[in-house]
Amino acid sequence: MWERGIEEEKVLAELEVASSHDLQFSDGRIMGSMCTLPRPVSLKAHMDFIESNLGNAGLYPGTKALETEIIEQLGQLMNGRNISGHIVNGGTESNIMALWIARNMTGKKEVVFPKSAHFSFMKACDLLAMTPIEVPLDENFTIDLDKARWAISDKTAIVIGMAGTTELGLIDPIRELADFIPSNTFFHIDAAFGGFVIPFLNDMGHSLPDFDFSIPEVSSMTIDPHKMGMSTMPSGAFLVRHPEHAEKIATRAPYLTLLNQTTLSGTRCSAAVASTYAAMRSLGRSGYRQIVRDCMEVTHHATARAVEMGLELVTEPVMNVLGIYLPEGKEPAAVQATLKKKNWMVSVAENPKCLRLVIMPHVKKENIDSLFIDLGDVLAQ
């Protein structure tokens, strides 16, 4: 630890140097991230609430009221009524909370999830000493229902359905999966990405599969304001249908202003609550619809460019995540590395092996055009 401090200007200059090495969303070259530039009003809200900490909610009734309102609004968006929950640090924390509740509620250990599930479920299993049971995907790259039926047993604590897979943005057949869920088993939907996309696509006339609390068996959901919700990081939401389920992870907090905590985090970045409120209140459903419409337009622009280049799509994109097969002999990871040298941050997927683009609101058509020119050069090498 430094013995003596230095002048604040010098500190800021050092920080500026560090930041100059980082890519910025506004450069339009980050195409492998599920986060994006927050709305300016969210940034301001975040700064204004930097002190608040719902880990000790009694001190912050104003912030607590905002959290209650957001959970109510998100619950409605997910077609639920009187849904409970919390604003947390992101999808990983929500997913861990779901497994934690399920383990305590059922006393069982097995976690059944599709191969397309986010790696946070592996983390959660490790932390909670639970057993991952990975179900293969079918030809549509969503959970294989026949195999899921065999994987679910009287040892199952929780089944996971994906509404917007990380790799391809696909939605599992959640209503069909619900038919296999035994009555005392937890059913959690990870809509970290899709939760702020699918409802708005449906508003625009798509008829995407049901994925939310409209399915009676669904017990809890992950939905992330810091992804397509346009909030600042870190901001996730954990929603649970029955408040008594959340009590399964309640921990006594005798010296705080609340008796029990029902979150994994103690101190929480509650600026995220104000930031999420600011995004949702200022955009409304119509604002999110426009954002999703714009992202899908850019996504379709990218699919057109790919097809023009003779590349094959893994599937028609459902949301603003795109998987592109590369020609024989071209390794996605090698192409990704060469593109990185040209300052493009694209991603790769493993199931199946492909180049992966996440077309967030900071990605514009002109960025796609420049990327595909460079991709063409890289593939021609």
Residues forming the site for ligand 0PR (CB under 6 A): 33-35, 90-92, 95, 118, 120, 164, 166, 190, 192-193, 224, 236
3-state secondary structure of 151: helix
CB-side neighbour CA atoms (13 Å) of 53: 10
Helix/strand/coil (H, E, C) string of 217-244? CCCEEEECCCCCCCCCCCCEEEEECCHH
| Distance of closest approach, residue 120 Cβ to ligand 0PR, in angstroms | 5
Q: With respect to ligand 0PR, which residue has the nearer C-beta, 85 or 236?
A: 236
* Alpha-carbon gap, residue 209 to 201, rounded angstroms: 11
Q: What's at 235, amino acid-wise? A: S
Q: With respect to ligand 0PR, which residue has the nearer C-beta, 67 or 224?
A: 224
| Distance of closest approach, residue 163 Cβ to ligand 0PR, in angstroms | 8
| Distance of closest approach, residue 210 Cβ to ligand 0PR, in angstroms | 18
Q: With respect to ligand 0PR, which residue has the nearer C-beta, 95 or 219?
A: 95
Q: With respect to ligand 0PR, which residue has the nearer C-beta, 80 or 164?
A: 164
Here the contacts of 37-41 (C-beta below 8 Å, separation 24 or greater) are 37/361, 37/362, 38/226, 38/230, 38/231, 38/232, 38/233, 38/275, 38/279, 39/230, 39/231, 39/278, 39/279, 39/282, 39/283, 41/278, 41/279, 41/282
Tokens of 83: 């849904």
Q: With respect to ligand 0PR, which residue has the nearer C-beta, 75 or 194?
A: 194
| Distance of closest approach, residue 232 Cβ to ligand 0PR, in angstroms | 12
| Distance of closest approach, residue 190 Cβ to ligand 0PR, in angstroms | 5
DSSP category for residue 125: H
Q: With respect to ligand 0PR, which residue has the nearer C-beta, 31 or 57?
A: 31
Q: With respect to ligand 0PR, which residue has the nearer C-beta, 60 or 113?
A: 113
| Distance of closest approach, residue 231 Cβ to ligand 0PR, in angstroms | 11
| Distance of closest approach, residue 6 Cβ to ligand 0PR, in angstroms | 32
| Distance of closest approach, residue 79 Cβ to ligand 0PR, in angstroms | 19
CB neighbour list of residue 188: distance below 8 Å, 6 or more residues apart: 95, 98, 99, 102, 158, 159, 160, 161, 218, 219, 220, 221, 222
Give the helix, strand, coil percentages of the chain, each rounded to 5: 45, 15, 40
Q: With respect to ligand 0PR, which residue has the nearer C-beta, 119 or 150?
A: 119
